[in-house]
Amino acid sequence: MRFTTPTLLVLQAFLADPREKRYGFELVQVAGLEAGTLYPILMRLEEAGWLESSWEEVDPRAEGRPRRRYYRLTAVGEESARVALAARAARLRLGPLRQPAPGAA
């Protein structure tokens, strides 16, 4: 899986409360991403088994809005997200790797 900055922002949003179900527009606001960036990430995470999703069961007319699709981290997704974010933090602390100078041992 590619861990782009937007993907890590989405994972971070879910880890704020791993058991909480979140819907797309909420994630757009929390992660600070455009919908066109967010939804492909959600689809990739769901296909990888990191997220599960379901449609809410409401009457859109009664609610005055479309139904929402809610996403939640799976157990595998929660653990994997923590590992991915920790690895990113470690890379940032270490900085870029430097290539040894030619002939250096």
pLDDT tens digit sequence for 48-77: 999 999 999 999 999 999 999 999 999 999
Domain ranges of the chain: 5-58+66-94
| Distant-in-sequence, close-in-space partners of 27: CB < 8 Å, separation ≥ 6 | 10, 13, 33, 38, 42, 71
Mean pLDDT to the nearest integer, 96-102: 55
- Residue identified by tokens 């058991």 is 19
- What's the pTM value of the predicted model, to 2 decimals? 0.83
> Does residue 98 surpass a pLDDT of 70?
no
d(CA 85, CA 20): 19
- Residue identified by tokens 């769901």 is 46
User: For domain 5-58+66-94, is the CATH number 1.10.1060.10?
Assistant: no
> Does residue 90 surpass a pLDDT of 90?
no
Question: Is residue 39 within 8 Å of 24, Cβ to Cβ?
Answer: yes
Tens digit of each residue's pLDDT (9 = 90 or more) over 13-49: 999 999 999 999 999 999 999 999 999 999 999 999 9
